[in-house]
């Protein structure tokens, strides 16, 4: 057996975790020969529910699941973590401004960043899912100087998956044939799903889907607002598909990226090859050698249409950062 991997999960009694934890424990995320320990973080509010989650995990008899611990103190739960999946966050309430949400969740991510710094393995990989995830990731990494800032991610893989599906449906092909899709920028309605560099069956997507009007005026806003539409229909935000995309994100980091392809993840922008300003967590096309690290793929075509929208998302992230300047050391 390989040495166990310790995975800490916040918001562990929430809806996304309710799908994700069982995937991790089954071996379908880290590999069918990889034993795992799950450390579940909750709060006073969710203590009972968390005990219920742990009971269900035990009852599954997963052979790779070596231990399930629950707790409400992030300094205990994050101890020795190889991975931290930060899912728990306060949802936006009626009449709440974006700045209020940033401030409230910011406080959670300051504390969790500090806890990771103190007790997680210095190599710990952190994926922030709780919204506003890009800026929450920036806050967390700002408080964890012992960890490489490149180990922090915010999730945009769900947006990439949504974009791949819609391109495949329009082209009338199976979504496995859609590759090279990147989401640029913020996980918000300013995100830029890139059809310019996307490929379908190895050809440029724009040669397969020649309806430019659809690409610009239907596809793009549909991906940007799909999360909101789903909330309207379901009465809650996407949970199962988000869990799948977190699993995809982890697999993207622990397996080598197929030659010529890339995946989306929001990472610290410092030194990026696309002229996006340093000091924000921005989604880029990335590749991995399969060791948990990544590099930003340079050289994608950025035409005026993309550039203008990428800039808007950059500006939104700068403004979010401005709202929480006191939490990111500025
Ligand atoms: P849930 O509503 O199920 O809540 C998850 C956890 O968040 C709860 O178990 C709770 O954890 C914590 N929480 C809930 N309310 C509060 C509160 N008022 N104050 C502090 N913490 C609270 O959410 P989901 O699992 O559906 O979603 C979790 C996050 O993921 C949300 O922020 C959502 O916006 C985001 N998301 C991100 C996506 C992405 O692509 N990046 C896609 C979909 C969702 P506890 O009480 O145990 O601390």
CB 257 within 8 A of CB 248: no
pLDDT at 330: 75
* 3-class secondary structure, 296: strand
The full DSSP string for 119-173 is HS-TT-EEEE-SSSHHHHHHHHHHT-TTS-GGGEEE--HHHHHHHHHHHHHHHTS
CA 2-262-213 angle, 5° bins:
145
91 C-alpha to center of ligand 1: Å? 6
38: closest CA among 22, 52, 14, 49?
A: 22
pLDDT at 252: 98
83 C-alpha to center of ligand 1: Å? 18
| Span 198-208, pLDDT tens digits | 999 999 999 99
Say what percent of the chain tops pLDDT 70: 99
Locate 138 and state its tokens.
């920036």
pLDDT at 154: 98
Q: Which residues of 261-284 are buried (b: 16+ CB within 10 A; e: fewer)?
A: ebbbbbbbbeebebebeebbbbbb
| Span 8-46, pLDDT tens digits | 999 999 999 999 999 999 999 999 999 999 999 999 999
Res 95 pLDDT > 80: no
| Span 157-171, pLDDT tens digits | 999 999 999 999 999
201 C-alpha to center of ligand 1: Å? 37
Residues identified as active-site: 187
Report the nearest atom of ligand 1 relative to the CA of 16.
25
For residue 52 and ligand 1, the question of a CB distance below 6 A is answered with no
Which protein residue has the closest C-alpha to ligand 1 atom 26? Answer: 15
For residue 162 and ligand 1, the question of a CB distance below 6 A is answered with no
87 C-alpha to center of ligand 1: Å? 6
Which protein residue has the closest C-alpha to ligand 1 atom 19? Answer: 90
ipTM for the complex shown: 0.95
Res 209 pLDDT > 80: yes
State the Cα–Cα distance between residues 122 and 117, nearest whole angstrom: 8
Res 98 pLDDT > 80: no
287 C-alpha to center of ligand 1: Å? 28
Q: Over the chain, what is the mean pLDDT? A: 96
For residue 275 and ligand 1, the question of a CB distance below 6 A is answered with no
CB 143 within 8 A of CB 113: yes
H or E element in which residue 303 lies: none
* 3-class secondary structure, 265: strand
Locate 14 and state its tokens.
């929430």
Q: How far is CA 205 from the centre of its chain?
A: 25
Domains delineated in the chain: 5-154 (3.40.50.720), 157-323 (3.90.110.10)
For residue 151 and ligand 1, the question of a CB distance below 6 A is answered with no
Say what percent of the chain tops pLDDT 90: 90
Locate 119 and state its tokens.
């007790």
Which protein residue has the closest C-alpha to ligand 1 atom 3? Answer: 14
pLDDT at 237: 87
CB 198 within 8 A of CB 236: no
Mutate to test the pocket of ligand 1, among 8, 52, 87, 186 (most ligand atoms within 8 A of CB): 87
Report the nearest atom of ligand 1 relative to the CA of 130.
32
pLDDT at 99: 78
Average pLDDT of the residues in 1-14: 95
pLDDT at 234: 85
Res 93 pLDDT > 80: no
| Span 229-287, pLDDT tens digits | 998 898 888 999 999 999 999 999 999 999 999 999 999 999 999 999 999 999 999 99
H or E element in which residue 44 lies: none
Res 94 pLDDT > 80: no
pLDDT at 310: 98
């Amino acid at each position: 057996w390989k040495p166990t991997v310790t995975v800490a999960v916040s918001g562990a009694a929430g809806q996304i975790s309710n799908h994700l934890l069982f995937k991790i424990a089954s071996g379908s995320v880290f590999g069918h020969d990889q034993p795992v320990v799950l450390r579940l973080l909750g709060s006073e509010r969710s203590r009972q529910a968390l005990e219920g989650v742990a009971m269900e995990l035990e009852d599954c008899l997963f052979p790779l699941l070596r231990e399930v611990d629950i707790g409400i103190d992030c300094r205990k739960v994050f101890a020795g973590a190889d991975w931290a999946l930060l899912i728990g966050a306060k949802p936006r309430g009626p009449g709440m401004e974006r700045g209020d949400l940033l401030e409230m969740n910011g406080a959670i991510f300051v504390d969790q960043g500090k806890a990771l710094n103190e007790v997680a393995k210095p190599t710990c990989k952190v994926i922030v899912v709780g919204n506003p995830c890009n800026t929450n990731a920036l806050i967390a990494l700002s408080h964890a100087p012992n960890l490489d800032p490149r180990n922090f991610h915010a999730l945009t893989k769900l947006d990439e998956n949504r974009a791949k599906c819609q391109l495949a449906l329009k082209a009338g092909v199976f979504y496995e044939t859609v590759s090279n899709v990147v989401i640029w920028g913020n996980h918000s309605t300013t995100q830029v799903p890139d059809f310019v560099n996307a490929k379908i069956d190895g050809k440029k997507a724009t040669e397969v889907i020649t309806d430019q009007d659809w690409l610009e005026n239907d596809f793009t806003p549909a991906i940007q607002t799909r999360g909101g539409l789903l909330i309207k229909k379901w009465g809650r935000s996407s949970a199962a598909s988000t869990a799948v995309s977190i699993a995809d994100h982890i697999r993207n980091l622990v397996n080598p990226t197929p030659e010529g392809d890339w995946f989306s993840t929001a990472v610290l922008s410092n030194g990026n090859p696309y002229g996006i300003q340093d000091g924000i967590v921005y989604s880029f096309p990335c590749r991995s050698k399969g060791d948990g690290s990544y590099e930003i793929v340079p050289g994608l075509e950025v035409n005026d249409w993309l550039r203008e929208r990428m800039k808007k998302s950059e500006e939104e992230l700068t403004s979010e950062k401005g709202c929480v300047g006191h939490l990111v050391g500025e």
